[in-house]
Amino acid sequence: RRYSRITGTGSYLPPRRVTNADLVAELAQSGIQTSDEWIVERTGIRARHFAAPDVTSSDLALEAARKALEAAGCQPQDIDLIIVATSTPDMVFPSTACILQNKLGANGCPAFDVQAVCSGFVYALTVADAMIQSGAARRALVVGAEVFSRILDFKDRTTCVLFGDGAGAVVLEASETPGILASELHADGRYVDILCVPGGVSGGEVLGHPLLKMDGQAVFKLAVGVLDKAARATLAKANLTDADIDWLIPHQANIRIMQSTARKLKLSMDKVVVTVDQHGNTSAASIPLALDHAVRTGQVQKGETLLLEGVGGGFTWGAVLLKL
Ligand code: ACO
């Protein structure tokens, strides 16, 4: 059997770091009241990064991809598949993956975007794994990249304090040993309205609301239940139990969602990679950003068993269990 294995990780945060105190001061100028205490207590977020106005998802993706390629010891032309998970693409079309491909100089290979909001990276990784297993690709670049600051409503304090910009990438290669052990993807379109950017482009105008709207409590309740089920399903497929998980690398939306999922899996928080405090919620970028951070700080080691899990708009959710 042919497997796929992560051989390099990389990530990139735009240089402008905005602490809660900075954001509180900025929002106060337009009469919006919030506080560091509220944000930390409800979300665990202390800072996030925002890209400069002329910087796009593909720019962030390019930096993260270069680092992942370097870590994997390969060149752009060695890549034969590019998948970018993003909900904040550079353009309506072509895909951010095509724009990234050209910036990288990896022209020729298939390149496309996956749109599953905060579950985008687990979706993209699962698709790349399937294409490698089938023989359609040998060495894939899988990226999560977002500029969520562009779609935030800075008059809505219940959402604008939660998100940040950034990108993370992995190189996924064909291997005789696993690698990715199991994955599980789901969506339930009945919940489109609880987390969405409902606007669209038509006739040269933006129709509808072009900024993020969220029913935070509905998202919270749904997220905790579905993540546990997806995690258990991947463990069952791989014939493993929760005791076999060395590290949980969840989508970094909110520390309380992460604590609840860890509790359900009987994992202590020191088995959970946490970057939400410094990155905020970077949607599809959050898992590869957290993974790269954990790899580069030596927190996770080669050979360890990782459970990645994502949940987000759609409603979408999924998990990938893998050996690093
Ligand atoms: N600063 C100060 N006060 C605030 C703020 C803020 N930024 N935002 C809301 N409040 C106030 C509300 O107005 C409300 O005041 P009231 O009681 O006087 O009406 C009070 O705080 C409580 O509001 P709730 O919405 O009930 O707060 P809750 O405890 O549910 O926390 C939160 C809100 C953090 C959004 C929570 O629901 C949550 O974590 N939801 C999960 C959603 C999430 O993480 N989404 C990320 C995107 S989806 C994903 O990635 C999975």
Residue minimizing CA distance to atom 7 of ligand 1:
157
Tell me the C-alpha distance between 31 and 37, whole Å. 18
Ramachandran angles phi, psi of 214, nearest 5°: -150, 140
Pocket test for ligand 1, best of 158, 191, 227, 281 (most atoms within 8 A of CB): 158
Which two three-digit tokens encode residue 142?
A: 């899988």
Q: For residues 265 and 248, is the Cβ–Cβ distance under 8 A? A: yes
Q: For residues 100 and 65, is the Cβ–Cβ distance under 8 A? A: yes
Residue minimizing CA distance to atom 8 of ligand 1:
158
Q: What is the pLDDT of residues 28-53, one digit of tens each?
A: 999 999 999 999 999 999 999 999 99
Q: Indicate left, alpha or beta for 266 from its phi (over 0: left) and psi (-120 to 50: alpha).
A: left
Pocket test for ligand 1, best of 217, 251, 261 (most atoms within 8 A of CB): 217
pLDDT > 90 in the chain, percent: 99
Which two three-digit tokens encode residue 3?
A: 């497997």
Residue minimizing CA distance to atom 3 of ligand 1:
34
Q: What is the pLDDT of residues 171-198, one digit of tens each?
A: 999 999 999 999 999 999 999 999 999 9
- What pLDDT does residue 6 have? 98
pLDDT for 23 beyond 90: yes
Q: For the domain 3-175, what is the CATH superfamily, name and number?
A: Thiolase/Chalcone synthase (3.40.47.10)
CATH number for the domain whose boundaries are 180-323: 3.40.47.10
Q: What is the pLDDT of residues 76-106, one digit of tens each?
A: 999 999 999 999 999 999 999 999 999 999 9
**Paired strand residues for 186:** 317
Question: Which ligand 1 atom is at minimum distance from the Cα of 220?
Answer: 41
Which two three-digit tokens encode residue 109?
A: 């290979």
Residue minimizing CA distance to atom 51 of ligand 1:
312
Q: What is the pLDDT of residues 224-246, one digit of tens each?
A: 999 999 999 999 999 999 999 99
Mean pLDDT of the chain: 97
Start-to-end CA distance of the chain, whole Å, equals 18
Closest CA to 117 of 288, 319, 315, 255: 315
Kindly state the helix (H) or strand (E) to which residue 247 belongs, with its residue range. strand 247-250
Which two three-digit tokens encode residue 283?
A: 């949607």
Residue 42 CA, ligand 1 centroid: distance in Å: 7
Kindly state the helix (H) or strand (E) to which residue 161 belongs, with its residue range. none
Tell me the C-alpha distance between 95 and 76, whole Å. 18
Q: What is the pLDDT of residues 114-124, one digit of tens each?
A: 999 999 999 99
Report the pLDDT averaged over residues 295-316.
Answer: 97
Q: What is the predicted ipTM?
A: 0.92
pLDDT for 310 beyond 90: yes
- What pLDDT does residue 222 have? 93
In the chain, CATH 3.40.47.10 sits at 3-175, 180-323
Catalytic residue numbers?
A: 118, 251, 281
Ligand 1-lining residues (CB < 6 angstroms): 34, 38-39, 42-43, 118, 157-158, 161-162, 195, 214, 216-217, 219-220, 223, 251, 253-254, 281, 311-312
pLDDT for 128 beyond 90: yes
Pocket test for ligand 1, best of 161, 220, 258 (most atoms within 8 A of CB): 220
- What pLDDT does residue 198 have? 95
- What pLDDT does residue 139 have? 98
pLDDT for 1 beyond 90: no
Q: How confident is the model at residue 199 (pLDDT cuts 50, 70, 90)?
A: very high
pLDDT for 64 beyond 90: yes
pLDDT for 148 beyond 90: yes
Tell me the C-alpha distance between 119 and 110, whole Å. 22
